[in-house]
């Protein structure tokens, strides 16, 4: 008899990570059920609309969540829902806490009640480390968030580890560092840079206002990182994993490489706006992904330079299409 087709639920399927994960699971033969909010933009998954099942759901409604899991019967749940842009969490800390922390707890409780055999992935974040006391950070680094987004992610992380240790669920956290792609929102610094470069290259703008060029991040490609998510749920036993490149680059590096892609000198176009400059980090956020490399066999396939080039090329094409 043929092997039964596996079903996966992806909350937040319309986001950057959700769209890449849906593609990966479809390639592996899964039935994919994605959840969205009523206000979600579906642009990132337009090309998948006839291949996935979409459900509109309120993750804070335990009844709705339970009914979904009972109806769908997933073997895997990937919880990617939540606000992903750190600055807005200061303006709406309650919403960040509800969607990110309470939503995760609601999903975990529903999975435990409906089918304890479900495997659960929680999208954790390097922001749980915040003002880290060590660099690089690993799975053993204690959480020390410094903003409402990090606090909410830390709460969801704790709820997931508690479900694993106390309820026996196969529940894991992927502690992902910054990961980008052409599908990244324009509010993020990476897309701000590559979209700005495209506009300048096409004569639509002349300058790109930026904050501190010395800020450092551990940047990787989102398509690589969703592969790590899937690998975590294929293991014999559940564990949390840091997913990162282990290398940092400055905003200056990203600007230089992006402008070089279109044959321009970034110093002729980038203007530092002091209003956008933030206080420097006390400790670098850079991940130690040795456990993921050792136990999952995971390594990033796309280099930082290739990532920036990919994003610039996509924004050039997009800007040309917009006239």
Q: Which of 100, 178, 105, 104 is nearest to 137 (CA)?
A: 178
pLDDT, tens digit, 9 for 90 and up, residues 250-271: 999 999 999 999 999 999 999 9
Average pLDDT rounded to a whole number, residues 76-86 = 81
Q: What is the dihedral of CA 82, 213, 300, 192, to 10 degrees?
A: 50
Q: What's the rounded mean pLDDT across residues 164-192?
A: 97
Average pLDDT over residues 127-136: 93
Q: Whose CA is closest to 13, among 123, 174, 136?
A: 123
So what's the pLDDT on residue 277?
A: 67
Higher pLDDT, 85 or 159: 159
Looking at residue 99, its pLDDT comes to 78
Q: Which domains does the chain have, with CATH numbers?
A: 7-179+221-243 (3.40.50.720), 182-218+247-285+302-321 (3.90.25.10)
Q: How far apart are CA 266 and CA 256, in angstroms?
A: 5
pLDDT greater than 70 at residue 90: no
Confidence band of 89 (pLDDT split at 50, 70, 90): very low
Residues assigned a catalytic role: 125, 127, 149
Provide the pLDDT for residue 88: 47
Q: Which conformational region is residue 73 in: left (phi greater than 0), alpha (psi within -120 to 50 degrees), or beta? A: left
pLDDT tens digit sequence for 13-71: 999 999 999 999 999 999 999 999 998 999 999 999 999 999 999 999 999 999 999 99
CA dist., res. 250 & res. 308, Å (int)? 13
pLDDT confidence of residue 5: 86
List Cβ neighbours of 51 (8 Å cut-off, separation of 6 or more). Answer: 22, 26, 32
- What pLDDT score does 1 carry? 47
Q: Which residue has the tokens 């709406």?
A: 92
Write down the pLDDT at residue 275.
73
pLDDT for the residue 273: 85
Q: Which pLDDT score, from 0 to 100, does residue 322 have?
A: 86
- Count of Cβ atoms closer than 10 Å to residue 234 Cβ: 9
Whether the pLDDT of residue 133 is over 80: the answer is yes
Q: pLDDT band for 281, please (50, 70, 90 cuts).
A: low
Over the stretch 148-176, which tens digit does the pLDDT of each residue have? Answer: 999 999 999 999 999 999 999 999 999 99
Mean pLDDT of 76-94: 67
Whether pTM exceeds 0.85? yes
8 A C-beta contact, residue 179 and residue 170? no
Which whole-number Å values give the CA distances from 164 to 77, 118, 157, in the listed order?
A: 14, 12, 11
- What pLDDT does 94 receive? 54
Q: Does residue 189 have a pLDDT over 70? A: yes
Dist. CA 84–CA 125, nearest whole Å: 10
pLDDT at 244 over 90: yes
> At residue 92, does pLDDT exceed 60?
no
Q: Say if residue 85's pLDDT is above 90.
A: no
Q: Read off the pLDDT band of 319 (50, 70, 90).
A: very high
């Amino acid at each position: 008899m043929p092997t039964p087709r596996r079903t996966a639920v992806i909350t937040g399927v319309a986001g950057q990570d959700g769209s890449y994960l849906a593609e990966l699971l479809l390639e592996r033969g899964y039935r994919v059920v994605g959840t969205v909010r009523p206000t979600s933009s579906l642009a990132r998954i337009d090309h998948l609309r006839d291949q996935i099942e979409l459900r509109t759901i309120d993750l804070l409604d335990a009844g709705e969540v339970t009914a979904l899991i009972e109806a769908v019967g997933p073997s895997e749940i990937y919880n990617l829902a939540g606000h992903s842009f750190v600055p807005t969490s200061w303006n709406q800390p309650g919403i960040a806490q509800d969607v990110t922390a309470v939503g995760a707890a609601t999903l975990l409780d529903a999975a435990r009640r409906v089918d304890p055999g479900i495997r659960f992935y929680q999208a954790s974040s390097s922001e749980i480390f915040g003002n880290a006391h060590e660099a690089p950070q690993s799975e053993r680094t204690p959480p020390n968030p410094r903003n409402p987004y990090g606090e909410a992610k830390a709460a969801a992380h704790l709820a997931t580890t508690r479900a694993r240790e106390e309820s026996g669920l196969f529940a894991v956290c992927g502690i992902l560092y910054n990961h980008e792609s052409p599908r990244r929102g324009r509010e993020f610094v990476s897309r701000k840079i590559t979209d700005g470069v495209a506009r300048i290259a096409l004569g639509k703008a002349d300058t790109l206002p930026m904050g501190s060029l010395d800020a450092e991040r551990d940047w990787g490609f989102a398509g690589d990182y969703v592969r790590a998510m899937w690998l975590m749920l294929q293991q014999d036993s559940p564990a949390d994993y840091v997913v990162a490149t282990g290398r940092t680059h400055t905003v200056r590096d990203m600007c230089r490489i992006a402008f070089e892609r279109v044959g321009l000198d970034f110093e002729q176009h980038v203007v530092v706006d002091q209003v956008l400059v933030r206080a420097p980090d006390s400790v670098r956020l850079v991940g130690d992904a040795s456990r993921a490399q050792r136990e999952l066999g995971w390594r990033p396939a796309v280099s930082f330079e290739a990532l920036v080039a990919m994003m610039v090329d996509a924004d050039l094409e997009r800007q040309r299409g917009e006239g």
